[in-house]
C-alpha cells in the first residue's frame, strides 16, 4: 500500500468523517480508524453530517453493542487533519468541512483528484477490508478486540450482499480471518429492515415501471433510509428481464437514487453519474451505485418537483442514456477510415515501463487510465506508456517499437499523482515511476480519428470486459497500421499530442 496508518501519527488534532447517512461499512471503517488512534494514545473524533442522525435499527444496534462513538454534527471547527472513510472528500454525499490537511481512505471508484494522503482500493468489496489491511500492515491483529473484528466483519458482509459478491482475495481474507461475536451479527442481520420499511419496499416493487425494449426498471419509493433503496434495487435486479434499475425517493432536499447493473455494457457508477449530471452527483461500483439530484438545481432547470414529473424526467434520462450511446467491440467493429482524418503524433517526450519489470509474466494487473480501468495480463509484449499529462495506457512491444524511440534522458513525471497499477490477485498497488524510462513519440504510422458528437463505449482489444467511455468532444482513434485497435483519446490529450496531416 502507498499509505500507512503511521503516516497520520504526526498529527494531533484529528477528525474522522464518513459519508452522510452512514451504512455499516462506513461506521465500521471509521470506528477501526478511531480505534487505531486510541491505541496510539491520540484523541480523535469520529463524525458524520447530513440531514439527521442514524436511526436505522441495525445501525443503532451496531453503534450501541460495539461502542461506536460516531457523532452527528452540522458544524466543525477546522481541524489539523480530516480523514474521510468509505467516501471521498468533495463528493455530493459528504458534508463539506474545512481542514488544514485532507486524507482519504475508500473503496469506491475514484470520483476526482485525490489528496496525497490517500488509499483508495476500488477493487475491494468494502472499506472495512482496506482498514483491515492497513491495520495488518501495522502488525495489528484485529481479533485482539472482538468489537473491532465484529465491526469490520459486518461492514464487509453488508457491502457485499452477505458475502455473495466477495471476489477479491483480501475480502476473502477478512471474511475468513475475522472472529466476530456471532450473536451480534445475527442480531444486526435480523434488524436490517423495519416493518414500515418492508411495506415501503413492497409498495414500491408493486408499482415498478419496466422498459421492455431497454431491459431496465424504474421505481419510486416513499421517503426512507437510503439503504432501503439499495434493498429494493437488489431485488429488482433478480428479475429475469431487468439488466439495470433505478430506484429513487423524493425527499425535502432532493432525490436519492440507487442504481444497479448486471451487464458489462453498463457500469452502475457511470449510469449514476449520467443520471445526476448537472443536478448533483453520483458514483459507486461497477454493479452498485447511488447519488443525489438536488431539489434546488432541478427547479432551476425547469423541472417541476412532484412525483409524476420527476418520474417522466428520470425515465427520459434513462432512455437518453441508452439511445445516445454507441457501443463498439474492437475486433468486431470496422471503422470506415475513408471518412476519418489522418493524424500524426507530435514528437513529445513521454515515459514507458516494460510490463514484466513490474511483476512476473502471467500476473493479472489493473491499469487505471483516464478513460477507464483496463485489466491485462503481463507478458513479454506488454509496455505501459505514461503520457504527457501523466495518463497511462497499455500497448504492445511491436507498436511501441514502431511509434517511439528510446531516450537516455532521465524521466520527469509531469503530474502530482504517482501512477500505479494494481495486482488483481494480491491487491498490491505498484508505483510505475521507479520503473519508468524516457522515450520520444515518433508518430509511427499515425492514427485515423474523428471528433465524437455523442457518447461512445469501446471495448478494446486489451480488455474486452470493460469499456472506455468517450463523450462529446473526445476523439475516436483507429491505429493506421491496425484497424482493429480502436480506442478513445480525451480531447485535451488529443489536442496536445496529435496534428492533422
Task: Compute the distance between CA of residue 445 and CA of residue 462 in angstroms, rounded to an integer.
Answer: 20
Q: What is 5-189's CATH topology?
A: inorganic pyrophosphatase (n-terminal core) (3.90.1640)
Which pLDDT score is estimated for 16? Answer: 98
Average pLDDT over residues 418-446: 85
pLDDT digit string (tens) for 287-327? 888 888 999 999 999 999 999 999 999 999 999 999 999 99
pLDDT digit string (tens) for 454-486? 999 999 887 888 888 999 999 999 989 888 889
pLDDT digit string (tens) for 342-355? 999 888 899 999 99
**8 in Cβ contact with 103 (< 8 Å):** yes
Q: Is 438 helix (H, G, I), strand (E, B) or coil?
A: strand
pLDDT digit string (tens) for 206-249? 999 999 999 999 999 999 877 789 889 999 999 999 999 999 99
Which pLDDT score is estimated for 94? Answer: 94
Q: What is 195-323's CATH topology?
A: Diaminopimelate Epimerase; Chain A, domain 1 (3.10.310)
Residue 332 has pLDDT above 80, yes or no: yes
Q: What percent of the chain has pLDDT over 70?
A: 97
Average pLDDT over residues 430-442: 92
Every domain of the chain and the residues it spans: 5-189, 195-323, 337-500
Largest CA distance in the chain: 71
What cell numbers appear for 371 in the block?
478513460
Per CATH, 5-189 and 195-323 having the same topology is answered no
Which pLDDT score is estimated for 165? Answer: 63
Residue 194 binned pLDDT confidence (cut-offs 50, 70, 90): confident
- Compute the radius of gyration of the chain from its Cα atoms: 24
End-to-end CA distance of the chain: 45
Residue 409 has pLDDT above 60, yes or no: yes
Amino acid at each position: 500500500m502507498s499509505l500507512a496508518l503511521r503516516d497520520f501519527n504526526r498529527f494531533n488534532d484529528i477528525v474522522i468523517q464518513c459519508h452522510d447517512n452512514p451504512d455499516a461499512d462506513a461506521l465500521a471503517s471509521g470506528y477501526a480508524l478511531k480505534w487505531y488512534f486510541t491505541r496510539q494514545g491520540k484523541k480523535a473524533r469520529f463524525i458524520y453530517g447530513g440531514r439527521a442522525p442514524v436511526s436505522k435499527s441495525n445501525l443503532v444496534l451496531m453503534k450501541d453493542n460495539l461502542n461506536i462513538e460516531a457523532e452527528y454534527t452540522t458544524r466543525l471547527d477546522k481541524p489539523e487533519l480530516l480523514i474521510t472513510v468509505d467516501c471521498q472528500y468533495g463528493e455530493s454525499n459528504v458534508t463539506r468541512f474545512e481542514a488544514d490537511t485532507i486524507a482519504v481512505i475508500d473503496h469506491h471508484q475514484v470520483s476526482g483528484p485525490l489528496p496525497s494522503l490517500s488509499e483508495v482500493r476500488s477493487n475491494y468489496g468494502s472499506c472495512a477490508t482496506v482498514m483491515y489491511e492497513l491495520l495488518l500492515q501495522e502488525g495489528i491483529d484485529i481479533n485482539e478486540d472482538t468489537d473491532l473484528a465484529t465491526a469490520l466483519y459486518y461492514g464487509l458482509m453488508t457491502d457485499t450482499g452477505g458475502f455473495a459478491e466477495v471476489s477479491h482475495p483480501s475480502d476473502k481474507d477478512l471474511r475468513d480471518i475475522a472472529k466476530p461475536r456471532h450473536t451480534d451479527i445475527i442480531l444486526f442481520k435480523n434488524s436490517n429492515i423495519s416493518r414500515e420499511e418492508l411495506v415501503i419496499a413492497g409498495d414500491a416493487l408493486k408499482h415498478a415501471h419496466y422498459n421492455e425494449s431497454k431491459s431496465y426498471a424504474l421505481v419510486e419509493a416513499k421517503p426512507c433510509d437510503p439503504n432501503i433503496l439499495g434493498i429494493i434495487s437488489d431485488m429488482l435486479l433478480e428479475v429475469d428481464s431487468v439488466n439495470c434499475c433505478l430506484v429513487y425517493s423524493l425527499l425535502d432536499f432532493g432525490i436519492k437514487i440507487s442504481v444497479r447493473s448486471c451487464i458489462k455494457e453498463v457500469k452502475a457508477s457511470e449510469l449514476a453519474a449520467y443520471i445526476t449530471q448537472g443536478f448533483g452527483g453520483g458514483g459507486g461500483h461497477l454493479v452498485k451505485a447511488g447519488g443525489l439530484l438536488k431539489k434546488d438545481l432541478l427547479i432551476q432547470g425547469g423541472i417541476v418537483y412532484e412525483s409524476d414529473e420527476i418520474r417522466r424526467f428520470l425515465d427520459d434520462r434513462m432512455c437518453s442514456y441508452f439511445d445516445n450511446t454507441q457501443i463498439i467491440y474492437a475486433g468486431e467493429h470496422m471503422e470506415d477510415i475513408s471518412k476519418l482524418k489522418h493524424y500524426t503524433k507530435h514528437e513529445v517526450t513521454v515515459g514507458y515501463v516494460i510490463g514484466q519489470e513490474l511483476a512476473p509474466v502471467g500476473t493479472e494487473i489493473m491499469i487505471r487510465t483516464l478513460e477507464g480501468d483496463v485489466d491485462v495480463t503481463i507478458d513479454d509484449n506488454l509496455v505501459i506508456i505514461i503520457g504527457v499529462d501523466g495518463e497511462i495506457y497499455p500497448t504492445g512491444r511491436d507498436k511501441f517499437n514502431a511509434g517511439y524511440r528510446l531516450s537516455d534522458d532521465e524521466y520527469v513525471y509531469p503530474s502530482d499523482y504517482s501512477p500505479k497499477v494494481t495486482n488483481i490477485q494480491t491487491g498490491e498497488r505498484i508505483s510505475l515511476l521507479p520503473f519508468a524510462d524516457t522515450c520520444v513519440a515518433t508518430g509511427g504510422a499515425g492514427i485515423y480519428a474523428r471528433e465524437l458528437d455523442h457518447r461512445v463505449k469501446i471495448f478494446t482489444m486489451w480488455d474486452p470486459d470493460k469499456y472506455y467511455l468517450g463523450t462529446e468532444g473526445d476523439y475516436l482513434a483507429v491505429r493506421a497500421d491496425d484497424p482493429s485497435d480502436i480506442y478513445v483519446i480525451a480531447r485535451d490529450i488529443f489536442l496536445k499530442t496529435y496534428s492533422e496531416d
